[in-house]
């Protein structure tokens, strides 16, 4: 059985790590380089770095900061934000990223997924999907959750797999930052529809939420931010609890 992964997420704005609730009211959470090094040393399986204002500000991801983070860690490192081309991905991989995450650009140009998967390999391409439940339907949102679409979450997940994505990072905007638990029903549905790994994001508040996301939500990995940044949950302690509940993790 494949081990389940615990992934801290660094949302970056103006060179600092930030965290909000439902994608709003961001507050400072620390130096991304220091946080990355701490997580690498404390049991994180991977790290995700998202330049959350790159798309909105129509600029490229902070490659220099990516390089500094990569120099401090020895775990797989996914970078996203403002990626719109093969050239963007080359810059980030050369700066030390292991994988890239695309979101708004994939919706606007779905063929980008095919291009990147062909050039760099499926395992390198993560498609992030931010979605919100509106009138009983999960709809995809773009530009850091600011722009709603009429695209159905589950239809889009199937399409990104078909086009060559190696993983899906699904964030429930309704659960994001609430610490009320992950959106396990939607996650379980996703896991039955696609055969690529699903990273769950949005809602982690305590250890039980992580147990539930792996057992009820059938997720392959769980991503969280504030509970790790503000030391409400220690990753090593969390993993011991997961092991006690027969969830396979790397310790």
Find out whether 171 and 202 touch, Cβ atoms under 8 Å: yes
pTM: 0.92
Q: What is the C-alpha separation between 28 and 131, in angstroms, rounded?
A: 24
Q: Is residue 232 part of a domain?
A: yes
* pLDDT tens-digit map of 143-178: 777 889 999 999 999 999 999 999 999 999 988 878
Count: domains in the chain: 1
53: pLDDT confidence band, cut at 50, 70 and 90? low
Question: Which parts of the chain are beta strand (E)?
Answer: 5-13, 16-21, 24-30, 47-51, 77-80, 99-102, 125-134, 137-142, 147-152, 167-172, 198-201, 221-224
Q: Is residue 207 part of a domain?
A: yes
Indicate the SS3 state at residue 73.
Answer: coil
In this predicted model, which residue has the larger pLDDT, 58 or 128? 128
Q: Is residue 249 part of a domain?
A: no
Q: Is residue 250 part of a domain?
A: no
Q: What is the C-alpha separation between 9 and 77, in angstroms, rounded?
A: 10
**Catalytic positions, please?**
11, 130
* pLDDT tens-digit map of 5-25: 999 988 887 777 775 555 444
- Is 63 a residue whose pLDDT tops 90? no
Q: Is residue 251 part of a domain?
A: no
Q: Is residue 31 part of a domain?
A: yes
Find out whether 173 and 144 touch, Cβ atoms under 8 Å: no
In this predicted model, which residue has the larger pLDDT, 50 or 219? 219
Q: Is residue 168 part of a domain?
A: yes
The residue range of the domain holding 189 is: 5-244
Domain of 187, CATH number, reads: 3.20.20.70
If we measure between CA atoms, which residue out of 97, 36, 29 comes closest to residue 62? 97
Q: Is residue 87 part of a domain?
A: yes
């Amino acid at each position: 059985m494949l081990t389940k992964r615990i992934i801290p997420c660094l949302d970056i704005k103006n060179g600092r790590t930030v965290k909000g609730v439902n994608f709003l009211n961001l507050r400072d959470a620390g130096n991304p380089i220091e946080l990355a090094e701490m997580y690498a040393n404390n049991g994180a399986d991977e790290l995700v770095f998202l330049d959350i204002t790159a798309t909105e500000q129509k600029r490229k991801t902070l490659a220099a900061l990516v390089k500094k983070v990569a120099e401090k860690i020895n775990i797989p490192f996914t970078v996203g934000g403002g990626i719109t081309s093969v050239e963007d991905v080359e810059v980030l991989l050369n700066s030390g990223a292991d994988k890239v995450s695309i979101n708004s650009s994939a919706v606007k140009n779905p063929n980008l997924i095919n291009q990147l998967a062909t050039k760099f390999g499926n395992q390198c391409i993560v498609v992030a999907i931010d979605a919100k439940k509106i009138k009983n339907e999960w709809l995809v949102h773009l530009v850091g959750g600011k722009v709603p679409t009429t695209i159905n979450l589950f239809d889009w997940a199937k399409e990104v797999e078909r086009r060559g994505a190696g993983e899906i990072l699904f964030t429930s905007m309704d659960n994001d930052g609430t610490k009320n638990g992950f959106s396990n029903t939607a996650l379980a549905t996703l896991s039955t529809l696609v055969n690529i790994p699903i990273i769950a994001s949005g809602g982690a508040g305590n250890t039980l939420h992580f147990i539930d996301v792996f057992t009820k939500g059938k997720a392959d990995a769980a991503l969280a931010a504030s509970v790790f940044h503000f030391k409400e949950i220690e990753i090593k302690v969390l993993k011991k609890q997961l092991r006690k509940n027969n969830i396979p993790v790397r310790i």
